[in-house]
A and B are shown apart, each in its own frame.
Chain A
Amino acid sequence: METTLFDLKSGEEAVIKNLKGGAEFQKKLRSLNLRRGKMIRKVTAEPFHGPVVVEIDNTEIAIGMNMAKKIVVEASESESD
Chain B
Amino acid sequence: MKILLMGNPNVGKSAIFSRLTGIDVMISNYPGTTIELKKGKMKLDGETAEVIDVPGTYSLDPASRAEEVAVNMLQEGDLVINVVDATNLERNLNLTLALLERNIPVITVLNFWDEIRHLGIRIDIQKLESRLDIPVVPVVAVTGEGIKALVSRLHEAKAHQKRYTEESRWERIGKIIGEVQRISLKKHTFLERLEDLSVQPLTGIPIMFSVLIVVFWTVRIVGETMIAYLFDPLFELYLPFVTDLSRMLGGGGVVHDILLGTLIAGQIDYIQSMGVLSTGLYVPIAMVFPYVVAFYLVLGILEDSGYLPRLATLVDAIFHKLGMHGLAIIPMLLGLGCNVPGALSTRILEGRKQRFIAATLMATAVPCMAQTAMVFALLGPYGIKGLGIFFMTLFAVWLILGFLLNRFLGGETPETFMEIPPYRIPYPGSLGKKLWMRIRSFLTEAIPFVLFGVLIVNILYVFGIIEWIGEMAAPVIVGIFGLPKEAVAALIVGFLRKDVAVGMLLPLGLDMEQLIVASVVLTMYFPCVATFVVLFKELGARDLLKATGIMLVTTLLAGGILNALL
Q: How far is the CA of A9 from the CA of B400 in the complex (A)?
A: 34
A78 adjacent to chain B (CB < 8 Å): no
Query: What residues of chain B have their CB less than 8 Å away from a CB belonging to chain A?
Result: 58-59, 61, 63-64, 87-88, 90-91, 94, 119, 166, 170, 195-196, 199-201, 204, 309, 312-314, 316-318, 320, 326, 414-422
A65 adjacent to chain B (CB < 8 Å): yes
Q: For A33, what are the chain B residues with a Cβ–Cβ distance below 8 Å?
A: 90-91, 94
A15 adjacent to chain B (CB < 8 Å): no
Asked whether, in the complex, the Cβ of A44 is within 8 Å of the Cβ of B196, the reply is yes
Shortest Cβ-Cβ A-B pairs, 6 listed: A64-B415, A50-B317, A33-B91, A31-B58, A48-B317, A60-B420
Q: For A59, what are the chain B residues with a Cβ–Cβ distance below 8 Å?
A: 88, 91, 419-422
Q: For B422, what are the chain A residues with a Cβ–Cβ distance below 8 Å?
A: 58-60
Asked whether, in the complex, the Cβ of B199 is within 8 Å of the Cβ of A48, the reply is no
Asked whether, in the complex, the Cβ of B317 is within 8 Å of the Cβ of A62, the reply is no
Q: For B91, what are the chain A residues with a Cβ–Cβ distance below 8 Å?
A: 32-33, 57, 59
CB distance from B355 to the nearest CB of A (A): 18
CB distance from B220 to the nearest CB of A (A): 30
A27 adjacent to chain B (CB < 8 Å): yes
Q: Which of A30, A49, A59, A65 has the most B CB atoms < 10 Å from its CB? A: A59
Q: How far is the CA of A60 from the CA of B306 in the complex (A)?
A: 12
Given contact pairs A57-B91, A59-B420, A64-B417, enumerate 14 new A-B contacts (beta carbons under 8 Å): A28-B64, A31-B94, A43-B199, A47-B201, A50-B316, A50-B317, A51-B415, A53-B313, A60-B419, A62-B417, A64-B415, A64-B416, A66-B415, A67-B415
Query: What residues of chain A have their CB less than 8 Å away from a CB belonging to chain B?
Result: 10, 24, 27-28, 30-33, 35, 43-44, 46-51, 53, 57-67
The chain A residue sitting closest to B199, CB to CB, is A53
CB distance from A69 to the nearest CB of B (A): 11
17 inter-chain pairs at a CB distance below 8 angstroms, sorted by A residue, are A27-B59, A31-B94, A32-B58, A32-B91, A33-B91, A35-B170, A43-B200, A46-B199, A46-B201, A48-B317, A49-B317, A57-B88, A59-B419, A62-B309, A62-B313, A62-B419, A65-B415
Q: For B414, what are the chain A residues with a Cβ–Cβ distance below 8 Å?
A: 64
The chain A residue sitting closest to B67, CB to CB, is A31
The chain A residue sitting closest to B202, CB to CB, is A44
Interface of B is mostly: helix
Q: How far is the CA of A43 from the CA of B309 in the complex (A)?
A: 15
Q: How far is the CA of A67 from the CA of B204 in the complex (A)?
A: 22
Q: How far is the CA of A24 from the CA of B245 in the complex (A)?
A: 70
Q: How far is the CA of A47 from the CA of B317 in the complex (A)?
A: 7
Contact of B90 among A48, A57, A62 (CB under 8 A): A57
Q: For A43, what are the chain B residues with a Cβ–Cβ distance below 8 Å?
A: 196, 199-200
CB distance from A10 to the nearest CB of B (A): 7
Q: For B421, what are the chain A residues with a Cβ–Cβ distance below 8 Å?
A: 59
CB distance from A43 to the nearest CB of B (A): 6
CB distance from A68 to the nearest CB of B (A): 9
Q: What number of residue pairs across chains A and B have CB atoms under 8 A from each other? A: 102
Contact of B418 among A31, A50, A61 (CB under 8 A): A61
Contact of A62 among B61, B166, B204, B420 (CB under 8 A): B420
Asked whether, in the complex, the Cβ of B316 is within 8 Å of the Cβ of A46, the reply is yes
Q: How far is the CA of A57 from the CA of B91 in the complex (A)?
A: 9
Asked whether, in the complex, the Cβ of A62 is within 8 Å of the Cβ of B63, the reply is no
Q: For B196, what are the chain A residues with a Cβ–Cβ distance below 8 Å?
A: 43-44
CB distance from B10 to the nearest CB of A (A): 10
The chain B residue sitting closest to A23, CB to CB, is B63
Q: How far is the CA of A49 from the CA of B321 in the complex (A)?
A: 11
Q: For B419, what are the chain A residues with a Cβ–Cβ distance below 8 Å?
A: 32, 59-62
Asked whether, in the complex, the Cβ of B61 is within 8 Å of the Cβ of A44, the reply is no
Q: How far is the CA of A53 from the CA of B414 in the complex (A)?
A: 17
The chain A residue sitting closest to B196, CB to CB, is A43
Q: For B416, what are the chain A residues with a Cβ–Cβ distance below 8 Å?
A: 51, 62-64
Q: For A32, what are the chain B residues with a Cβ–Cβ distance below 8 Å?
A: 58, 91, 417, 419
CB distance from B183 to the nearest CB of A (A): 9
CB distance from A51 to the nearest CB of B (A): 5
Asked whether, in the complex, the Cβ of A50 is within 8 Å of the Cβ of B88, the reply is no
The chain A residue sitting closest to B414, CB to CB, is A64
Asked whether, in the complex, the Cβ of B166 is within 8 Å of the Cβ of A48, the reply is no
CB distance from B195 to the nearest CB of A (A): 7
Q: For A50, what are the chain B residues with a Cβ–Cβ distance below 8 Å?
A: 313-314, 316-317
The chain B residue sitting closest to A45, CB to CB, is B201
Asked whether, in the complex, the Cβ of A27 is within 8 Å of the Cβ of B417, the reply is no
Q: For B415, what are the chain A residues with a Cβ–Cβ distance below 8 Å?
A: 51, 63-67
CB distance from A59 to the nearest CB of B (A): 5
Q: For B420, what are the chain A residues with a Cβ–Cβ distance below 8 Å?
A: 53, 59-62
CB distance from B309 to the nearest CB of A (A): 8
Contact of B313 among A46, A57, A67 (CB under 8 A): A46
Q: For B417, what are the chain A residues with a Cβ–Cβ distance below 8 Å?
A: 28, 32, 61-64, 67
CB distance from B328 to the nearest CB of A (A): 14
Q: How far is the CA of A38 from the CA of B309 in the complex (A)?
A: 24
CB distance from B118 to the nearest CB of A (A): 11
A62 in contact with B201 given A33-B91, A57-B91 (CB within 8 Å)? no
The chain A residue sitting closest to B314, CB to CB, is A46
The chain B residue sitting closest to A25, CB to CB, is B417
CB distance from A38 to the nearest CB of B (A): 9
Q: How far is the CA of A24 from the CA of B313 in the complex (A)?
A: 23
Asked whether, in the complex, the Cβ of A31 is within 8 Å of the Cβ of B61, the reply is yes
Q: For B90, what are the chain A residues with a Cβ–Cβ distance below 8 Å?
A: 33, 57
Asked whether, in the complex, the Cβ of B313 is within 8 Å of the Cβ of A51, the reply is yes
